[in-house]
Chain A
């Protein structure tokens, strides 16, 4: 039974990504375009290649110094720690929806299937990305170690065992959070808003802990008067050994080929998994079938109704959907929070001091800071992806909007407006905060604020067009279109690359002019040119949306 359920979950996962390749193919039953699959495969390979390159570079730099100086355990602990942190971060916002809010709960529970099997199948599929990430990061770190020190079968065995075990701990943590959120919100009236609030609280706590941790590390380095890469890493490792002994056990299990540490590590990772699985299994039926909720609201017939234009009604529809779906709000809107959080981190940590230091060492360099700050906001803005799944989220309710007398263009523009509602304030706040360190002058001020705004519009329009091209309307859980859809990936990836490549190029060019040419106006000019460039792209995308997008929406 578990095997059948896993196959069902996997087919949903695959269809979330692949079936949206070609809407026409879905209707006609023809196979997906090979060219499109190749293109997407190249894109995925590119992303993996870039990150692999960065991982290989880092592990090559630190492997020998750490191993030769008695910190081999730390070298091996790093990939496991990284895998754990990334898995928790990526899983935390969708675990509740994935585990408890699937639309086929009633159907599955009406069949002779144990709730434990339903839950286990969802957890296993939810862990797949964690395992892929673990294999990838572990493979890079392990490969680099082997290239220097050769293969040791026992070490490889322990390493593989731990690669398999680490996601168990990560899934325990985020499943527990999902379970806790479900339990807390079971009797609350505004479930989705409370879920969102808890998720945001968790995110803020996460970043607060991160900044505290980094501050602690910095003060440790300053006290010890260390500056070399190795010394920093060594002090970091000592701190971890003192405060996070399980990570030391995991690293030592591989480094020392220690049976005791291997056993301890496995206990730390497997026991929470078994406990959490048991806990959730026992309350699974109660959570997914609890329809009682909060006290029933009674409608008072005398209440006055507010009339609105169709455009405003469409916008309010988008807004209601967003605030009532925490999976969508948190996954598509996380970038808005990140913009502000990163801006605060930059002004509160060493980055601000570093910029002051750079300005003292290289007079004139401070003139590119406004461009750097604007581009950083653009880069983070690419993770705001409301429009990239907004068409898919219409799902089986698409008939409503399609049967109403509304132009498709109005419907699509309401989606863009929703995206901008969240992106614009976040962008302005982040730009405002970064003013403290970027210090734009009077000429730079307007393009400094305008560039991220125009970029957000570009990301919104691009996301919408890509979702129209790759819609995923037949889903059983919001996580599928929001997180697993091809449109979400491309909607984030392409604007990110655009910000990185176009912005990076402009930054290098501007920096060289500022330093060599002593032209202080060049930053304002660069920001104006970039703003105009993205505005032109927006205009083109808007034209595409008006013609092709409208036709496409009408044919969905």
Chain B
């Protein structure tokens, strides 16, 4: 579903992402782990067309992001770590705008919006301007906007930050549901327990380079994911 081939992105002389190659198959839920500034956000942004890579290729559902960016974007949804949404819109207008852009039919959007907003207890607040939303409410709205157009690939940057425990649980269920239906999810997180319990795949990035990638069992073996991560960090310091 997502094929990253030799991705390199530099800021000035510094390579934020250096020759990164990673494949995520349909149905896979992949966690992207790394210390602050390791290159997670840069990779995610490059995968959804927000940053132009200096080298490498990215394919979404077999379509090249470089050659057909619009086609790729039709197949994916992205949520950044700090969802700055259109504060001049109400929640419902924002969701309706997203549906208009993705061409979601009138009946489908009405059903899907209410389904998801009910799940996240946001229905009553949809008439409020987004400027009146809390951080958690904005995060919920961003998650709903990513789900309503049924993308094949969802990329999320720190999706659980700001969510209450119930909303976090709902999101985890929806993520699993999405992958079981044949979609794929690639998300960054610092919460290793969540990654360990939820994901099929793990990718660990360090200083822009992918150091480990594989199924959960392959990566952690008999130890915990936290142990693996800390050992990798120590190797770097040494």
| Inter-subunit contact B101/A291 (CB<8 Å) | no
Binds A, one of B78-86, B172-180, B205-213: B78-86
Give A289-309 interface residues, CB cut-off 8 Å to B: 291, 293, 296-301, 304-309
Q: Given A405-B70, A405-B73, answer yes or no on A305-B101 (Cβ-Cβ < 8 Å).
A: no
- Which of B21-29, B105-113, B196-204, B224-232 is near enough to bind chain A? B105-113
Do A309 and B73 touch across chains, with their CB atoms under 8 A apart?
no
Give the distance in Å from the alpha carbon of A527 to the alpha carbon of B99 in the complex: 45
For B77, the closest partner residue in chain A by CB is A403
User: 10 A-B Cβ contacts within 8 A?
Assistant: A28-B12, A29-B11, A299-B92, A299-B123, A308-B100, A317-B89, A397-B85, A403-B48, A403-B73, A404-B101
In the complex, which residues of chain A have a beta carbon less than 8 angstroms from the beta carbon of B84?
A: 395-397, 399-400
The closest CB in chain B to the CB of A303 belongs to B92
Number of A residues near B (Cβ < 8 Å) is 42
In the complex, which residue of chain B has the Cβ closest to the Cβ of A554? B52
Binding stretch for chain B, among A107-115, A320-328, A481-489: A320-328
Contact A555 to B101, CB < 8 A, known contacts A298-B124, A299-B92, A400-B85:
no
Q: Which of B102-148 contact A (CB under 8 A)?
A: 102-106, 109-110, 113-114, 123-128, 132
A contacts, CB < 8 Å to B: 27-30, 192, 291, 293, 296-301, 304-310, 312-314, 316-317, 320-321, 324-325, 395-397, 399-400, 402-407, 554-555
Q: In the complex the two chains form, is A304's CB within 8 Å of B11's CB? A: no
Minimum C-beta distance from A306 to chain B (A) = 7
B-side interface size class: 35 or more
Residues of A within 8 A of B69 (CB): 554
Assuming the contacts A28-B11, A400-B85, A554-B52, asked whether A305 and B126 have C-beta atoms less than 8 A apart, the reply is no
Query: In the complex, which of the residues A306, A395, A396, A403 contacts B78, with contact meaning CB atoms closer than 8 Å?
Result: A403
Is the pair B80, A299 in contact by a Cβ cutoff of 8 Å? no
Chain A residues within an 8 Å CB radius of B109: 305, 307
Which of B12, B98, B100, B127: most chain A Cβ within 10 A?
Answer: B100
A299 to B109, CA, bound (A): 16
Extra 9 A-B pairs, beta carbons < 8 Å, given A314-B101, A320-B89, A403-B78:
A293-B132, A299-B127, A305-B113, A307-B96, A307-B105, A313-B101, A320-B88, A400-B85, A554-B52
Known contacts A305-B113, A396-B84, A407-B70; A310/B100 CB under 8 A: yes
Q: Does B50 contact A (CB under 8 A)?
A: yes
On chain A, the residues within 8 Å of B48 by CB distance are 403
A317-B102 CB under 8 A given contacts A27-B11, A305-B110: no
Query: With A and B bound together, what is the CA distance between A297 and B90 in angstroms?
Result: 10
Bound-complex Cα distance A395 to B71 (A): 25
Least CB separation from A317: chain B residue: B97
| A29 / chain B contacts, CB cutoff of 8 Å | 11-12
Contacts of B105 in A (CB 8 A): 307
Task: Kindly name the residue among A304, A395, A396 whose own CB sees the greatest number of chain B CB atoms within 10 A.
Answer: A396
A326 to chain B, nearest CB (A): 11
